[in-house]
């Protein structure tokens, strides 16, 4: 078994471009494009607090069930992909929704937790989010 220990990886042709070959060898993927650029595990009840995160500087409690996640390092544009989920609260099914009344920006995103049946916002104890895209 071989082991490589490095502090930095730099592409040979372009510094930020490193290609990884698929397990079967038939396809390649850019390592940089395949990495999550922001993720979080947030307690959204009471005084909100992040349990763990990557590239999150702070959170804002906007109101019941609605939050902002602020990025430490900005995204290159607002055309990134956002995924999220939330835990179950009081044996009621909840969905995680991006609220379209505020477009995503390069420095933060607003999101909310709401009931699946009647779209009522409610604070949640477990909120998880991930962004994929390009950092500035």
- Delimit the domains of the chain by residue range: 36-132
92 or 29: which leads in pLDDT: 29
In sequence order, the 6+-apart residues with CB closer than 8 A to the CB of 78 are 103, 104, 105, 106
27 or 67: which leads in pLDDT: 67
Confidence (pTM): 0.82
- Both tokens assigned to 30: 């850019």
| pLDDT score for 91 | 57
- Both tokens assigned to 85: 């989920």
Read off the pLDDT of each residue in 58-71 and give the average, rounded to a whole number: 94
Alpha-carbon span 48 to 40, nearest angstrom: 12
pLDDT at 111 over 60: yes
Read off the pLDDT of each residue in 26-53 and give the average, rounded to a whole number: 91
| pLDDT score for 132 | 93
Per-residue pLDDT tens digits for 15-24: 777 888 888 8
Mean pLDDT in the chain? 86
130 or 29: which leads in pLDDT: 130
Alpha-carbon span 64 to 67, nearest angstrom: 8
Per-residue pLDDT tens digits for 66-92: 999 999 999 999 999 988 888 765 655
Tell me if 59 sits within 8 A of 112, measured CB to CB: no
| pLDDT score for 57 | 98
Alpha-carbon span 114 to 64, nearest angstrom: 10
Going from the C-alpha of 84 to that of each of 30, 37, 87, the distances in angstroms are: 23, 14, 11
């Amino acid at each position: 078994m071989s082991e490589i220990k490095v502090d930095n990886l730099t592409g040979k042709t372009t510094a930020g471009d490193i290609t990884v070959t698929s397990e079967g060898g038939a396809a390649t993927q850019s390592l940089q494009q395949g990495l999550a650029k922001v993720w979080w595990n947030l307690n959204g009840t009471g005084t909100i607090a992040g349990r763990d995160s990557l590239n999150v500087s702070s959170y804002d409690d906007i109101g019941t069930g609605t939050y902002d996640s602020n990025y430490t390092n900005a995204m290159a544009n607002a055309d990134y992909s956002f995924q999220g989920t939330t835990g179950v609260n009081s044996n009621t099914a909840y969905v995680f929704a991006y609220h379209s009344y505020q477009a995503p920006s390069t420095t933060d995103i607003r999101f909310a937790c709401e009931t699946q049946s009647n779209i009522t916002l409610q604070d949640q104890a477990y909120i998880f989010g991930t962004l994929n895209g390009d950092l500035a």
